[in-house]
Amino acid sequence: MENNYINKKYGKLTIKEIFKKPQGAKQKIATYVSALCDCGNTKTIYLYHILSGGTQSCGCHRYEVLNRNKTKHGYRKREQREYLYDLWLNIKNRCRPNGPKPQYRNIKFFAAWAKDFSAFKNYLIDNLGERPSKKHSLDRYPILEGDYVPENVRWADKNEQANNRKQRSPNREIYYKGVLTTINQLSRMSGINYQTIASRIDRGWSIEQAIETPINKNALIP
């Protein structure tokens, strides 16, 4: 009768062999099976355990459930979590009104990204490409002091980020109408933030355009 269980499937396990062997201190005879799991592993277990439903896999199912419980947005929450998910969490935390770094508390994280990791990830991959190397991180550019929004982020290494900060210095010297001055002085004269002036120049605007063009308040980047 026990042979009727051969090749029968219970959960992920298919019984391939049934045999008896003594077990325990009193060497009582128990019925065991050798079962093939869907994952390819072979497991020896009590016949009763597989028939009662107490064992339904070689153990792989339990690990699958554990992994799903450790996952959010399709990424592991701990050691195997991808860089982009860590980055997303860090920016969200950094830009909170009561965040750990005061200098970031007035910086905004684009609302659609803050709500949905997939939207953040897809924008970066589709528009910036994969992270070039472990030496690169997400940089706010061309407006260094701007928000984390579309068109103001890029991958940059430490040298590029340092150069970005240097170029945004309010003491950066430029010629305006034949006179050597600084971006800070032109900012006070025009009423336009010096970061905006610097970013305009770096994007190819003439000095005159950068100083004399009014800010479009509806644009993400003026």
**Res 120: pLDDT:** 92
Residue 123 lies in a domain: yes
Residue 38 lies in a domain: yes
**Res 109: pLDDT:** 93
One domain, residues 162 and 84 = yes
Res. 68: pLDDT tops 60: no
Q: Which residues of 182-214 are buried (b: 16+ CB within 10 A; e: fewer)?
A: bbebbbeebebbbbbbbbbbeeeeebeebbebe
Mean pLDDT of 79-94: 80
Residue 220 lies in a domain: no
What percentage of the chain reaches a pLDDT higher than 70? Answer: 79
**Taking a C-beta distance cutoff of 8 angstroms, is the pair 145, 122 a contact?**
no
pLDDT 10s digits, 94-120: 888 887 777 677 788 999 999 999 899
Expressed as residue numbers, the domain containing 198 is 173-212
Residue 22 lies in a domain: yes
**Which residue, 120, 108, 112, 113, is CA-closest to 146?**
108
Segment among 4-8, 85-89, 116-120 with least mean pLDDT:
4-8
Before 170, cis peptide (omega within 30)? no
Q: Of 27, 49, 64, at which residue does a domain stop? A: 64
One domain, residues 60 and 13 = yes
**Which residue, 185, 172, 165, is CA-closest to 103?**
165
One domain, residues 125 and 196 = no
pLDDT 10s digits, 129-143: 888 888 888 988 777
One domain, residues 148 and 83 = yes
Residue 218 lies in a domain: no
One domain, residues 17 and 37 = yes
Q: Of 18, 42, 64, at which residue does a domain stop? A: 64
One domain, residues 116 and 159 = yes
* Both tokens assigned to 154: 């890029």
Residue 86 lies in a domain: yes
One domain, residues 136 and 100 = yes
One domain, residues 142 and 78 = yes
Instruction: Work out how many domains the chain is built from and give that number.
Output: 3
One domain, residues 27 and 92 = no
Residue 217 lies in a domain: no
pLDDT averaged over the chain?
Answer: 79
**Taking a C-beta distance cutoff of 8 angstroms, is the pair 198, 207 a contact?**
no
> With helix as H, strand as E and coil as C, how does the chain read?
CHHHHCCCEECCEEEEEEEEEEECCCCEEEEEEEEEECCCCEEEEEHHHHHHCCCCCCCHHHHHHHHHHCEECCEECCCCCCHHHHHHHHHHHHCCCCCCCHHHCCCCECHHHHHCHHHHHHHHHHHHCCCCCCCCEEEECCCCCCCECCCCEEEECHHHHHHHHHHCCCCCEEEECCEEEEHHHHHHHHCCCHHHHHHHHHCCCCHHHHHHCCCCCCCCCC
User: What pTM was computed for the model?
Assistant: 0.44
Which of residues 88 and 60 earns the better pLDDT score? Answer: 88
Residues in the chain: 222
Res. 73: pLDDT tops 60: no
One domain, residues 152 and 198 = no
What band does 166 get if pLDDT is binned at 50, 70 and 90?
A: low
pLDDT 10s digits, 181-202: 888 888 888 888 877 887 787 6
One domain, residues 15 and 78 = no
One domain, residues 86 and 158 = yes
